Chains A and B, each alone.
Chain A
């Protein structure tokens, strides 16, 4: 291996980088992770399309290396399918790199390699995969579990004692197919988790909360959609409300109501949200605008007659881009309904068409 400048790298240094890369590609780490030992540090940064930059800092000196990931465990989904393993493995990252540093001390680095860019591509040979066992994650790999095993583990009363593990399981559940019976048990638990952790001060909980809402809500039949009520309560993170109202729209988009105002309680809650957001001050925020549009979509999908009042509010706002985008999304809902194998009931469809016409003629 040579640097871009053509200078040879000392064998030990090469071996260190190879091993670091080889390990790195075996697992998933956050987009950028930094590990510190006193004044020294090593950062690994993911780039697009499987590229990686490794920077090693020793005092004022920084060495930069650029390489390409060549993940090696093709039989296991665990290394790349689920980013949820990130937190679980962070401690192993530290331990592994510390071990490497001990074995390949920095004092062997050649000063002339500072700021060199080394192409690691090709040096991470696939045939070496059998030797790479530094982080054995497959034995306890949640992503390989059967759905019933995952349900049991998630709903275990002791699950919350290991939050990194729990967060990982929640994210994996989003890509797992569950039976109807399992979904009926799991959905309330996932939504309850989201409710309990939506105000968590730990930023690592955020992704799990959003995923729990998406997965839990996606399992619901319309009759059970009121399980989302608590997650619509104001006074909590706006992102949580945004995900919830988005999923409400998706529940009814896929499972349209049989008649208008069939879900009035839920519609009232969403109406209040939309009504609060549809003013010129609130809409200035793109997040509020997004949530307002999602609330309109949900009202239309659940065939609430409140939609007409809300559309009048949109007309009064007279913000062209907002109206156009709302119209576009309602037309998309119309297309989704039109392409269903089972026709949507006449009255909900009529209400949607009327709503679209109101916006068209604005």
Chain B
């Protein structure tokens, strides 16, 4: 299954398929992605599914309305690896705290300043999906700054509607100044999945301008 717009008709999804939410006000703009947190189910546009996703906090089994979906077919063993990985990190996100969130880079470790010991990892919603796939050796997107397209502030505001009024908050999420920035937007995840399975597994997607929409 390539990535799909669920408005075209109901689709059967499997655990850890990627599900996405579109903006209510900007056509085809994907504002959020997560992983399906239930076994096979049929979903249509606007339908609800159980998801594991970085809101923050990391929510497991939470019902969200979805508009788009995509996946790379996974074996049961790969799904077990992702499940075990989630078990290992779940304690780091028990309650809502924006400190758990980061936009750029898509994930970032926080350390004790004296010892260098890791405390927890911050994620964007897309970063969480990317890291989950890394657990099964799938690099969905090239996340090096050089490889990512520039994202203008106006686009960031589409994804984070309060961004315009709150530059300081954006700075805390890794977006200092007025942009443009190299950011992994949720829509990119759908585009990487909209490729042949072999290709998804073999090479990370090179995101391009406009991929924020799907």
| Cβ A174 vs Cβ B119 within 8 A | yes
For residue B202, give the distance in angstroms from its CB to the closest CB of chain A. 18
Among candidates A68, A180, A242, residue contacting B87 with C-beta atoms closer than 8 Å: A242
| Cβ A251 vs Cβ B160 within 8 A | no
| Cβ B116 vs Cβ A254 within 8 A | yes
Contact with A along B109-129 (1 / 0, CB 8 A): 011111111111000010000
Task: Let me know if A28 is at the binding interface, CB within 8 A.
Answer: yes
Among B55, B97, B167: residue with most chain A CB under 10 A = B97
| Cβ B99 vs Cβ A81 within 8 A | yes
Task: Let me know if A165 is at the binding interface, CB within 8 A.
Answer: no
Provide the bound-state CA to CA distance between A158 and B211, in Å: 54
Interface of chain A, helix or strand or loop or mixed? helix
Residues on A with C-beta less than 8 A from B114 are 178-180, 183, 219
Task: Let me know if B146 is at the binding interface, CB within 8 A.
Answer: no
| Cβ A255 vs Cβ B117 within 8 A | yes
| Cβ A321 vs Cβ B97 within 8 A | no
Task: Let me know if B41 is at the binding interface, CB within 8 A.
Answer: no
For residue B119, give the distance in angstroms from its CB to the closest CB of chain A. 5
| Cβ B94 vs Cβ A246 within 8 A | no
Task: Let me know if B198 is at the binding interface, CB within 8 A.
Answer: no
Task: Let me know if B165 is at the binding interface, CB within 8 A.
Answer: yes
Binds A, one of B76-84, B174-182, B187-195: B76-84
| Cβ A214 vs Cβ B88 within 8 A | no
State the total of A-B contacts with C-beta under 8 angstroms.
Answer: 165
| Cβ A321 vs Cβ B81 within 8 A | yes
The chain A residue with its CB closest to the CB of B31 is A49
Residues on B with C-beta less than 8 A from A121 are 25, 161
Among candidates A48, A179, A289, residue contacting B64 with C-beta atoms closer than 8 Å: A48
Among candidates A50, A290, A324, A325, residue contacting B162 with C-beta atoms closer than 8 Å: A50
| Cβ A251 vs Cβ B115 within 8 A | yes
Task: Let me know if B169 is at the binding interface, CB within 8 A.
Answer: yes
A-B contact pairs, 9 of them (CB 8 A): A31-B59, A48-B31, A74-B167, A81-B98, A83-B97, A175-B99, A217-B117, A286-B80, A321-B77
Residues of B within 8 A of A (CB): 21, 24-25, 31-32, 34, 53, 55-57, 59, 62, 64, 77-78, 80-81, 83-85, 87-88, 91-92, 94-100, 110-120, 125, 135, 137, 159-162, 165-169, 172
